[in-house]
Amino acid sequence: MSDLSGTARLLLGMIHVKGRRTGYDIKRLVEVSTRFFWAASPGQIYPELKRLESEGLLTRSEEPHGGRARNVYTATDEGEQELHGWLTESADPVFEMRNEGLLKLFFADSLNTEEQIEVVRAMRAQQEAILDGIRKATPPYRPDRKFGYIAWLYGLGIHGWTIEWCKQLEADLAEGRVPQGLQESDASQTR
């Protein structure tokens, strides 16, 4: 047991937290909540739900709405245990980041100042778009979903921090100033 994919855990968690859900429900939930730290596409959600059903972690009930098919999933006891086991296990969690803006910045030495500033601005614009998406998805405050709120606050904080960092860097570059933090290393290098 417990060789579930991260996405399987996400589905289990969503169903636990929100109760009985369809694949479509989960897809929308992900879009307004975990999207920025754990994405999942429909091409992944539907097959994975089936797999979890076949493994006995979810049960499916067909509840068509008029002539429209609808599969509502519920967690089994085993599913709940699996979720709890994952939440309390002590394996180091996955952390992966792909930040193309930062990668460009890393290689920006050969550009002229305007181009460099443009790279930072593009990186900031993207972070602003993400922050906007998070802001718009304000979770309603519910005492039983404190941690949904906390994760949301983290999103605001981390992307807000990055935006401020970018602004500072843009200003430094525009004014030909040495970016913060380089002074000390300037001082420590002798030749």
Sites for a copy of itself among residues 62-121 (CB under 8 A): 83-84, 86-88, 90, 92-111, 115-116, 118-119
19 binds a copy of itself (CB under 8 A): no
Q: Which is nearer to a copy of itself, 49 or 163 (CB)?
A: 163
**Tally of CB atoms within 10 A around 102:** 13
Q: Which long-range contacts (CB under 8 A, 24 or more apart) does 187-191 make?
A: none
Distance in angstroms (rounded) separating the CA atoms of residues 25 and 77: 21
Q: In angstroms, give the least distance from the CB of 64 to DNA.
A: 8
Contact partner at residue 137 from a copy of itself, DNA, none, CB < 5 to 8 Å by partner kind: none
Q: How far is CA 151 from the centre of its chain?
A: 10
Q: In angstroms, give the least distance from the CB of 130 to DNA.
A: 15
Tell me the window of 5-13, 101-109, 131-139, 148-156 that interacts with DNA (CB under 7 A).
Answer: 5-13
Report in angstroms the alpha-carbon separations of 102 from 98, 123, 124, 177.
Answer: 9, 7, 10, 20
